[in-house]
Structure formats: C-alpha cells, structure tokens
Amino acid sequence: MSIVGKTFENYQGLFLLLLFWVSVLLSTVVLPFVLVVLELETKLSFYLKTFLGQVFAYLLPIVILLLATRQRAKKGFKKTGLFQLERYTKENKTNYLPFILLTAIFYLTVHFFVDAFTNMYMYFTDDFSVAPEVSYPTFPEFLSVVLVFAVMPALIEEITYRGMYYSTFHNNKVLLYLVPTFVFAFSHGSILSVIISIFLGLFLVNAMDMTKNLKLMILLHFIYNFFSLLFSNYIKTPISPGAFLEANQLPEAVLGASLINLAIALFLLVAFWKCREYIKRARKVAVLNHKKPEESDKYKIINYLSGALLCVSALVLFVIRFI
C-alpha cells in the first residue's frame, strides 16, 4: 500500500471530511467560475451542467482518492485500502432478486405515504400548489433525467456513503448508521427530501451491513431513483395529489384519496417488514474474512470527531441553502 494509503488506514475520517469540503468548493465555487470564464453558463443545458458538476466536483475527487490509496500489488478499486473489500469472504454470494423486490416495495411504501400526507395537507389548507404535476417528457429527455438523477447519484453516493463511510465506521454500529445516513440525507435540497432520504439511507446501510456488496447497493439506489423518476414523470393515479389539480374537486374526494393512500402505504409497510425479516432469516449475514485490527483510542477519537464534523458540515450547508 502507498504511503497515502497507509495514512488513510489511520485517518479515514479526516480524509472523508477533506473529500466533503473539496466537493463543496468545487461544486459551488470552482465549477461556476469556470463556466462563467468560458462563457458556457447560458450555452449549456441544465442537465449537461448538472452532469459536469457531478463528474468534476464529486466523481473525480473520489477517483483521485481511490487511486491514491490503492495497494501497489493489485490495481483496481476492489483492492484499495479505501473499501477493503478484499477483507470479505469471497464465498459470500448475494442473491440480488430479493433485495430488488424489497427496494421496489420500499419505494412504493414511501410513495403512498407521501401522497397520503400531501392529500391531507391539501385538504386542511386548500393549498393545491404542493401537488406535483406529471410532465410526460419525451424519451430522449427522460434518458437525460435518468442519467443525471438516477445513474450518477446512485454511483457517487453509494461509493461514498455505503463504501468509504462504511469502511470507516463499520466497527461502531451507532456511527455506521448515524453518520452516512445523516450526511446523505442533509445533502438533499428540501425538508421532505431529507426525511425520505433518512429512511432510504437507513435501508441501504442495513442492506450493506447484511450483504457487504457495494455493487448491489449501487443497483438498489438506482432502482429507487428510477421508480421515483418514472412515477413523477409519467404515472398519475386517481388518488395521487396530481389528480386533484383540476378545478371543482370536492374536499371529501381529497380526504378519501388520502385515506386510501394511507391504507395502501400501511399494507406495503407490513409487507416490506415481513419480506425484510424473511430475507434476514434466509441468508447468513456477510462476515469479514478476518477482523480489522482494533483502532487505538487516538485514531478512534479522530474518526469519531471527523464523523461529528461531517454531520455538522452537512447540516450547515443544508441551512445555508434556505437562507
């Protein structure tokens, strides 16, 4: 392992904190400045600017850090000190299908809960502006949306939160679930998105803890995002909030739709929990091939403080976006 890679073993939390702020500076200062200097700010489409920001400000720093911490003996991301995937048993095969089904149920549960509470809000406030409109984009436009809002976030966020963060905090269950979930949730732009992302983050960390399969986490995150984009762009049910945007809707209809959404969501929640318990019983939890050496108290404190600073940093940036 390189010198940087050896250092990372002892100061993983500090490297993650550095990566966090480098990405923030690149996305909020450097990239906008470059676009203005090159006179591309108004020439590029929203999707292209977003994609460039994802690659330049998030993916590129991750790749650089991976390359800096890889082992000399074998190249490639699977053999980096960052993920330490070589420590997991190769015999631990994962059946993807149950987790894909569980992710679909999880998304539908969240979807119907959100629809239920949105309908309730509209009923009690008479504010129909919160109801999302279905846009029905063309197929090429939808492909752009999928690339920017499904593929790239799944790749970047899973390598970061269920990859690097998992490697850093997996010796402490509280930090393992708290830090990546908190930072992941507050990297999103609205209060509703934060609430949903908290549950999604906990679900993905738990799945990672059961499978130790980062590729599966990327796939599950993509599936969740894809379903979200599919529903928001093409699917409008008779009981969804968007169905009540038309005029002359009776308040009783909105309330009835809310109760139906809530009943479906509760049914799906029970189904999700039952499926999760079945999967948990049906397979053995992935184990380490050999235990990671215990950290000294000094390095534990450094990583724990780094985790706390990561959470505070994510919260501060979230608040700044609302000011």
Burial 38-67 (b: 16+ CB within 10 A, else e): eeeeeeeeeeebbbebbebbbbebbeebbe
pLDDT tens, position by position, 20-52? 999 999 999 999 999 999 888 888 999 999 999
The vertex-14 CA angle with 9 and 18, nearest 5°, equals 125
CB atoms within 10 A of CB 174: 10
Count CA within 13 A, CB hemisphere, residue 69.
Answer: 24
In a domain, 155, yes or no: yes
DSSP class of residue 72 equals: S
Q: Give the rounded percent of residues in the chain with a pLDDT score beyond 90.
A: 50
In a domain, 252, yes or no: yes
In a domain, 270, yes or no: yes
In a domain, 72, yes or no: no
In a domain, 23, yes or no: no
The band of 289, judged by pLDDT with boundaries at 50, 70 and 90, is very low
In a domain, 306, yes or no: yes
- Residue span of the structural domain in which 274 resides: 94-322
Q: Give the rounded percent of residues in the chain with a pLDDT score beyond 70.
A: 82
What integer pLDDT is reported at residue 241 of this predicted model? 83
Whole-structure pTM value: 0.89
What integer pLDDT is reported at residue 182 of this predicted model? 95
DSSP class of residue 88 equals: B
Burial 229-264 (b: 16+ CB within 10 A, else e): bebbbeebbebbbbbbbeeeeeeeebeebbebbbeb
* Total tally of structural domains belonging to the chain: 1
Checking if the pLDDT of 168 tops 90, the result is no
CB atoms within 10 A of CB 319: 10
Query: CA–CA separation, 27 vs 292, rounded Å?
Result: 35
pLDDT tens, position by position, 6-18? 555 668 888 899 9
In a domain, 69, yes or no: no
pLDDT tens, position by position, 69-122? 765 545 444 454 544 544 544 445 678 899 999 999 999 999 999 999 998 998
In a domain, 229, yes or no: yes
